[in-house]
Amino acid sequence: MDFAPSERTRELTERLKRFMREEVFPAEAVYASLLTGGADHTQWRQPVVMEQLKARARDAGLWNLFLPDLEGGAGLSNADYAPLAEIMGHSFIAPEVFNCNAPDTGNMEVLHRYGSPEQREHWLEPLLRGEIRSGFAMTEPDVASSDATNMQATATIDGDDIVLNGRKWWTTGLGHPHCRFVIFMGLSDANAEPHRRHSMVICPLDTPGVHVERMLPVFHDYDEPSGHGELRFDQVRVPASNVILGTGRGFEIAQGRLGPGRVHHCMRALGAAERALSLLCRRAQARVAFGQPLIKLGGNADIIANLRMAIEQARLLTLKAAWTLDTQGSKAALSLISQIKVVVPAVAQQAADAAIQIHGGAGLTDDFPLAQLYAYARVLRLADGPDEVHRAVVAKLEAKAQLATENHA
Amino acid sequence: MDFAPSERTRELTERLKRFMREEVFPAEAVYASLLTGGADHTQWRQPVVMEQLKARARDAGLWNLFLPDLEGGAGLSNADYAPLAEIMGHSFIAPEVFNCNAPDTGNMEVLHRYGSPEQREHWLEPLLRGEIRSGFAMTEPDVASSDATNMQATATIDGDDIVLNGRKWWTTGLGHPHCRFVIFMGLSDANAEPHRRHSMVICPLDTPGVHVERMLPVFHDYDEPSGHGELRFDQVRVPASNVILGTGRGFEIAQGRLGPGRVHHCMRALGAAERALSLLCRRAQARVAFGQPLIKLGGNADIIANLRMAIEQARLLTLKAAWTLDTQGSKAALSLISQIKVVVPAVAQQAADAAIQIHGGAGLTDDFPLAQLYAYARVLRLADGPDEVHRAVVAKLEAKAQLATENHA
Amino acid sequence: MDFAPSERTRELTERLKRFMREEVFPAEAVYASLLTGGADHTQWRQPVVMEQLKARARDAGLWNLFLPDLEGGAGLSNADYAPLAEIMGHSFIAPEVFNCNAPDTGNMEVLHRYGSPEQREHWLEPLLRGEIRSGFAMTEPDVASSDATNMQATATIDGDDIVLNGRKWWTTGLGHPHCRFVIFMGLSDANAEPHRRHSMVICPLDTPGVHVERMLPVFHDYDEPSGHGELRFDQVRVPASNVILGTGRGFEIAQGRLGPGRVHHCMRALGAAERALSLLCRRAQARVAFGQPLIKLGGNADIIANLRMAIEQARLLTLKAAWTLDTQGSKAALSLISQIKVVVPAVAQQAADAAIQIHGGAGLTDDFPLAQLYAYARVLRLADGPDEVHRAVVAKLEAKAQLATENHA
Amino acid sequence: MDFAPSERTRELTERLKRFMREEVFPAEAVYASLLTGGADHTQWRQPVVMEQLKARARDAGLWNLFLPDLEGGAGLSNADYAPLAEIMGHSFIAPEVFNCNAPDTGNMEVLHRYGSPEQREHWLEPLLRGEIRSGFAMTEPDVASSDATNMQATATIDGDDIVLNGRKWWTTGLGHPHCRFVIFMGLSDANAEPHRRHSMVICPLDTPGVHVERMLPVFHDYDEPSGHGELRFDQVRVPASNVILGTGRGFEIAQGRLGPGRVHHCMRALGAAERALSLLCRRAQARVAFGQPLIKLGGNADIIANLRMAIEQARLLTLKAAWTLDTQGSKAALSLISQIKVVVPAVAQQAADAAIQIHGGAGLTDDFPLAQLYAYARVLRLADGPDEVHRAVVAKLEAKAQLATENHA
């Protein structure tokens, strides 16, 4: 057993932290000042400072660290990358700076692993260079998408084409000015067995019949210039060669995609939780009421201790999930991945809420990043499967494992 | 002991519910469509439909129900009014419809009880008629306002005038196009004993030196067209006759104002909690995943039961606080008032969070009022004293009471 | 709405409190010293002091206060009796002192309401006089008794007799030297509709075939000299006239018995919670660590505040359940009765646990009544239906009620 | 980073598990049947089966695994031993079987590290051979021992002797028939700086003036034949050579002793938690109510999932604490050690409580080990420092660490 990060991770950690300190945090305010806000995403612009930061990160070799392959990526395992993802999670603008932002990382992994040479050349390469962005269109407004087999949008082979129809939403990144395509998941064979019914299809956003209906606010925030969008596909026709891996193989791809993606999400969320705790601690020591710094009052010290313990545990669990994914594969990591998807967002939400409380009214405004951290954590309790579904997975696997074990007595 | 509401309350409940059903709920969408949103409150407009609803409510005799006096009000006790406030709490637009919205209700009570005849004629009368609105300027950005004696803004007598200086924020309603004045609380005698140092002063917003610095977002929502504002007072000079009750009597007034105000807030928040629970139950029964309505899955039924129990208990506690205020006065109600300020916002936050979760991503958007309900409950854990201060009050009174009691053994 | 207790309750409260102070609390230590403890209930003796206290309570007119009838009882409604039950709950020995202990109160109510004249004369009268005690034999070891229709023990009419077979446990009071009979609930017609299958039968303990298998410890405590017992019924033959109300009417009786019984249990448990909180507050103010009384350290004051709020709310809920039972009947009170069965034992358990913690190791020993209070509360989360069953009832009734209500929008 | 146990641990895990399965679990019932119970520890006997198991464990090389030294121990680091301690924690009788039970392990470590050659020969050797047992006398009944500097018992040098006076309690193992001595911690120089005032002294139980006042029940359980005892020291005179390391060095020793001791405690408690979860899962799948196994009802599956996540996280935290202790020493591990002392007992208590609930009344009796597991976890929230003290340590170190870090912005 060894809790120390690898030499490679240690070295990258140092460089990444320095870059965050010297480049990213100082740029947050400028970036924010360049956003115009609002529901109309057609007015959204990429702040210039982001492209400058991206160029510097790339020059610094802090680029595509998420990709476990040396070709195009940094060759890091999930366990090696995880601590780096956490560091990026301290700032909302950081993941894009390092080309490590969702959902593009997931899409890049999909194309890297399962894409045809043409798909990789046409879509993966520019993503890896950070020139374009992409979305993932799976969740649907009209059904409980927590049960993925509920998906009703269709992807129907018609000669050399595949025709897409239906409505999707919560396509993250859809509003970004650089977003060029989405990976669409749809029903292609209603008669196959449940996990062989759906296909993943690359769909460029400029294909006729693709309608961006609106951007979705989260607690009134549109997360400009990335956003979460709602899409309507109306007889959208793309070449059948846009199908990834083959029709009916959507869930197979999803399984491979979701494990690492959830680890990344969770590590970034832990970074967010740490930032909230850090702000909380500073405020609790700086602000005075009734003649004492807040940290000396009531249960405030306990709140700090409880968060430290919760975050530390959640991090260890996430690292173990990453390590299990690396060493034993996704099936062995199934329960752990579901566990972190329940545990981590809850911890991050709790940290943000506690930090808001200690900041008083200021915590609810944009004077601090806490409301945004809160919203991020809150979304994550629903995205990539709600808590409820993951708890059910954990319980089911646990019950099964217990029955397989000999009894004590 | 009798848990039945009074005849008067029962009758008003029926009429109020009908008005909500027939007039208020159907108008919510129209009202929302007339808002333009955004941080710039100078662009905010009062939706026409609101003035229409107000006229109808007034005609229906559902007006100023909060005021415990028959002259101008409905002559209801706190306990009698409480269930009506809860009903109004089901819709964000309802309190203003019935001229029962914060902070105007509190301001009207202050002026009604403590205002001079001139103050009442000039400021109370138009408030009672619903022609103008007002704010309350107490919390300050630069100090932990949870400790009210921290307040640093000054109100200095200078001849026949009183001069106001300092910064205030979280002045609710400041952005409203009809807002005409604020009640400013400031330090007038730094050498008096702590609770005799501050004064309340009526300050018209058009007085030179009053600067509305900005409106404050809560989870990115500006709560248009009412809002919470930040104010700067720069050598603001008003006649000394604008002081309410007398210099140094600010805390004395605050004590009288806060008890009923907190009961109102809590009852409205319970209405909000009920609306969240109602939406949760409907969704849980209508939405299907894994072949079952959500209510049949996992711990969802438990969530409903837990909320029902928590809301029911919080309501009884609030009603008891109201009744104690009515029958034994504010000192006797001190602990109960602090108790409800801790319990009720927490329940409402919990209800809104649970309802969001069961709605999936939709719960975070504006398609449902849940994100707004959530933000409202969250603010209330800070407004009128944060949880921490109220818990400390409850503990202190409890410890004292226990020592005053004979021991068991 | 009126939260004040009735004149009658107020007067009885005063007298009861004085009696507790002057007679009951001082006798606790003597009583405890007369117990010999241990698993072998045949060695258990009724402490002499208990009979002395009973005589004094009877002389003082503090006797059978639970019985809502003037004949034999005090003629108090559930709401009137509830605050008195709470006072009794402060001491483990008190309920028996006033002849208000479970399960005898429930059995007396059953016989009072549903017993034949012979049954009342033979069994009810001596119970009302406090001469004998009784048990209730419903729960079974071999099935999940949370689902009462699972009950497998049989009560079979055979000519003029009824023959009882099967195993029962958790028959409270079975070990008491004065225990003379149990009310046995068994399956008498497996083909009837589910709630018409079972009968209640009076079974004297000296009937051949009744075997007391053992007494059951709760956290190693046998609760001498009352206890909870396990029984085996082996071809036990009693006259058919021992059936209460008629065969197949067991659930009908149970419904009537359980509402008031649960209110009594909950009010006593609130008394237990108050005692725990009282001990906690005294210790927190008397004990010093790190130079301060414990109440000043960390979150201890918050713990006190949280308990005060939780107990106060749970009490109001219980009083409302009692009042609803009185004014609208058991069907209307169904949800509230289930609510208090979930809420109150949890609060009492929480209070006892917190009090133990603040007492340090001493809290776990017999030096304080806390371990016993804890065990009492813990049992109550299972007795008369586990939390889970009651939560399910609350959720089901809530979901139904919501569907019956018009929608908001 | 590597979550895999070492080769050595893996091999020992296999052998230990087999020994538990083949020898320990089957012996539990025999062992229990040989206990006579009760408060009078002079009647307690060591069950024969225990000595048989010890002999077999020793023969199997599963002996003194806790001792990090190869001489006398197994040469395992804390991180290597931790998983083995967890396995032992599955059965209450196991730790003694392997000579790895508290408080003897701690005492052996103290004597091993700090004892003089004579002390080691006379007291350590027989302990290592499992021939005698020992106690640790630190906590005092008359002061809040959560603040260790409160300790008032005295250890006064008088010529060649040291004289012990005062009262101690919660001396675990004191009732054991093999218990021969305690390590007494007392005030030897009231004028020294706070952490140099106390000394540790070896005190044989047969020294004149040592009085075992009573054994202390935990939830009515005396934990025979080990127990927790209360001691009075009345002018107890032992040779000054019985002082360990030197006068005034008690806290110095305690610091070294407590880190590994807490890791052991926590790992055993995790074993207890796993046993509770295992029993819970089996019962939930075997028991049927309302036509379904309990695991399908209400929130029961969620309870299982939540426990799995909590236990897994607590284990990782404990392993990291062990690893930090091994690789960076006790000062670096300070916060982590306090964290596990808060987290692990709470998880174990929660697991035992949940398992009790799903077992219904049976869970409270001795038919299952759950009440005992519960009591064990509950004690641990107080032993070796109550939760409150450890939370304060974590908060203090966190606040300090945050101030030492550069700010984000």
* C-alpha pair distances (Å), B401 with each of B338, C29, C208, C276: 16, 26, 56, 15
Residue C198's DSSP bridge partners are C187
Whole-angstrom distance, CA of residue D226 vs CA of residue A109: 59
What is the predicted pLDDT for the residue at B406? 65
Q: Smallest Cα–Cα separation from A375: which of A202, A223, A172, A194? A: A223
Residue C289 parent element (H or E): strand C288-289
Q: Does C405 touch chain B (CB under 8 A)?
A: yes
Query: Are the Cβ atoms of A343 and D284 closer than 8 angstroms?
Result: no
- Which residues of chain B are within 8 Å of residue D302 when distances are taken between CB atoms? 298-299
What is the predicted pLDDT for the residue at C236? 98
- Which residues of chain D are within 8 Å of residue B298 when distances are taken between CB atoms? 299, 301-302
User: What is the DSSP secondary structure assignment for residue B360, as one 8-state letter?
Assistant: G
Q: Does B292 touch chain D (CB under 8 A)?
A: no
- Which residues of chain D are within 8 Å of residue B302 when distances are taken between CB atoms? 298-299
Interface of A with D in 334-353 (CB under 8 A): 335-336, 339, 342-343
Does D407 score more than 70 pLDDT? no
Residues B218, B223, B226, B228: what is their CA dihedral angle, to the nearest 10 degrees?
10
- Which residues of chain B are within 8 Å of residue C14 when distances are taken between CB atoms? none
ipTM, 2 dp: 0.96
What is the predicted pLDDT for the residue at A406? 65
Spatial neighbors of B27 by CB under 8 A, at least 6 apart, are B49, B53, B93
User: What is the DSSP secondary structure assignment for residue B242, as one 8-state letter?
Assistant: G
What is the predicted pLDDT for the residue at C408? 59
Q: Tens digits of per-residue pLDDT, D337-388?
A: 999 999 999 999 999 999 999 999 999 999 999 999 999 999 999 999 999 9
Q: Does B234 touch chain A (CB under 8 A)?
A: no
Whole-angstrom distance, CA of residue C186 vs CA of residue C209: 15
Residue D287 parent element (H or E): none
What is the predicted pLDDT for the residue at D259? 87
Q: Tens digits of per-residue pLDDT, B27-37?
A: 999 999 999 77
- Which residues of chain B are within 8 Å of residue D301 when distances are taken between CB atoms? 298-299
Q: Tens digits of per-residue pLDDT, D243-300?
A: 999 999 999 999 877 889 999 999 999 999 999 999 999 999 999 999 999 999 999 9
Where residue D169 falls among pLDDT bands split at 50, 70, 90? very high
Where residue D149 falls among pLDDT bands split at 50, 70, 90? confident
Domain C251-404: assigned CATH number: 1.20.140.10
Which residue in chain B has the smallest CA separation from C387? Answer: B302
Residue D348 parent element (H or E): helix D334-359
The domain segmentation of chain D, as residue ranges, is 7-128, 133-247, 251-404
What is the predicted pLDDT for the residue at B274? 98
Q: Are C318 and C333 in contact (CB under 8 A)?
A: no
Spatial neighbors of D46 by CB under 8 A, at least 6 apart, are D176, D177, D178, D225
Distance from CA of B188 to the nearest CA of A (A): 20
Whole-angstrom distance, CA of residue B178 vs CA of residue B161: 26
Distance from CA of A393 to the nearest CA of B (A): 11
Whole-angstrom distance, CA of residue D185 vs CA of residue C91: 38
Among B294, B295, B302, B307, most D C-beta atoms within 10 A, so best to mutate, is B302
Q: Are D225 and D34 in contact (CB under 8 A)?
A: no
Q: Smallest Cα–Cα separation from C268: which of C97, C43, C144? A: C97
Query: Are the Cβ atoms of B298 and A141 closer than 8 angstroms?
Result: no
Whole-angstrom distance, CA of residue A93 vs CA of residue C253: 67
What is the predicted pLDDT for the residue at B407? 60
Residues in chain A: 409
The count of CB pairs under 8 A between chains B and C is 168
Does B409 score more than 60 pLDDT? no
**Is D7-128 in CATH node 3.40.430.10?**
no
Which residue in chain C has the smallest CA separation from D283? Answer: C144
Q: Does D374 touch chain C (CB under 8 A)?
A: yes
Mean of all residue pLDDT scores within chain B? 95
Q: Does A190 touch chain D (CB under 8 A)?
A: no
Whole-angstrom distance, CA of residue C394 vs CA of residue D298: 12
What is the predicted pLDDT for the residue at D199? 97
- The fold of the A133-247 domain, in CATH, is Butyryl-CoA Dehydrogenase, subunit A; domain 2 (2.40.110)
Q: Does C40 touch chain B (CB under 8 A)?
A: no
Q: Tens digits of per-residue pLDDT, A35-82?
A: 977 889 999 999 999 999 999 999 999 999 999 988 888 899 999 999
Whole-angstrom distance, CA of residue D165 vs CA of residue D184: 10
Residue D214 parent element (H or E): strand D210-215
Does A259 score more than 90 pLDDT? no
Helices (H), D230-333: 250-286, 300-332
D133-247 against D251-404: fold identical: no
What is the predicted pLDDT for the residue at A129? 97
Q: Tens digits of per-residue pLDDT, B212-245?
A: 999 999 999 999 999 999 999 999 999 999 999 9
* C-alpha pair distances (Å), C114 with each of A273, C76, C148, C201: 62, 19, 21, 12
Any chains having at least 3 CB pairs less than 8 A from chain D are A, B, C
User: What mean pLDDT is predicted for residues A20-34?
Assistant: 95
User: What mean pLDDT is predicted for residues C351-357?
Assistant: 98
Which residue in chain B has the smallest CA separation from A36? Answer: B38
Distance from CA of D266 to the nearest CA of B (A): 30
Does D409 score more than 60 pLDDT? no
Query: Are the Cβ atoms of A144 and B382 closer than 8 angstroms?
Result: no
Among C290, C296, C297, C302, most A C-beta atoms within 10 A, so best to mutate, is C302
Where residue C70 falls among pLDDT bands split at 50, 70, 90? confident
- Which residues of chain C are within 8 Å of residue B281 when distances are taken between CB atoms? 398-399, 402-403
Any chains having at least 3 CB pairs less than 8 A from chain A are B, C, D
Residue A393 parent element (H or E): helix A387-404
Helices (H), D115-219: 117-119, 125-128
Distance from CA of C85 to the nearest CA of D (A): 25
Q: Smallest Cα–Cα separation from A94: which of A178, A27, A33? A: A27
Q: Which residue shows structure tokens 């936050």?
A: B349
C-alpha distance across the termini of chain B, in Å: 30
Amino acid at D303: I
Mean of all residue pLDDT scores within chain C? 95
Where residue C406 falls among pLDDT bands split at 50, 70, 90? low
Does D237 score more than 70 pLDDT? yes
Does A409 score more than 60 pLDDT? no
Q: Tens digits of per-residue pLDDT, B140-187?
A: 999 888 888 889 999 999 999 999 999 999 999 999 999 999 999 999
User: What mean pLDDT is predicted for residues C133-144?
Assistant: 94
Q: Which residues of D225-258 are buried (b: 16+ CB within 10 A; e: fewer)?
A: bbbbbbbbbeebebebebbbbebbbbbbbbebbb
Q: What are phi and psi of A163, to 5 degrees?
A: -110, 125
Does B272 score more than 60 pLDDT? yes
Whether the bond into D103 is cis, omega within 30 of 0: yes
Antiparallel, parallel or unpaired: β C133-137 and B161-172: unpaired
Does B339 score more than 70 pLDDT? yes
Does C257 score more than 80 pLDDT? no
Q: Does D298 touch chain C (CB under 8 A)?
A: yes
B73: left (phi over 0), alpha (psi -120 to 50) or beta: beta
Q: Does A301 touch chain C (CB under 8 A)?
A: yes
Which residue in chain B has the smallest CA separation from C402? Answer: B278
Query: Are the Cβ atoms of D339 and A285 closer than 8 angstroms?
Result: no
Amino acid at B348: A
Residue C8 parent element (H or E): helix C7-19
Which residue in chain A has the smallest CA separation from C306? Answer: A299
Which residue in chain A has the smallest CA separation from C294? Answer: A298
- Which residues of chain D are within 8 Å of residue C169 when distances are taken between CB atoms? 361
What is the CA angle D328-D334-D337, rounded to 5?
100
pTM over 0.90: yes
* C-alpha pair distances (Å), A361 with each of A366, B218, B349: 11, 8, 16
What is the predicted pLDDT for the residue at D144? 87
User: What mean pLDDT is predicted for residues C207-234?
Assistant: 96
Q: Does D396 touch chain A (CB under 8 A)?
A: yes
Q: Tens digits of per-residue pLDDT, D44-70?
A: 999 999 999 999 999 999 999 999 988
Does A368 score more than 90 pLDDT? yes
Q: Which CATH class is domain B134-248?
A: mainly beta
* C-alpha pair distances (Å), B293 with each of A148, C28, C161, D277: 15, 54, 49, 29
Interface of B with C in 84-113 (CB under 8 A): 90-91
What is the predicted pLDDT for the residue at A258? 81
Take residue A310 and report the two structure tokens written for it.
């919760």
Does A408 score more than 80 pLDDT? no
Query: Are the Cβ atoms of C289 and D382 closer than 8 angstroms?
Result: no
Q: Does C291 touch chain A (CB under 8 A)?
A: no
Residue D54 parent element (H or E): helix D48-59
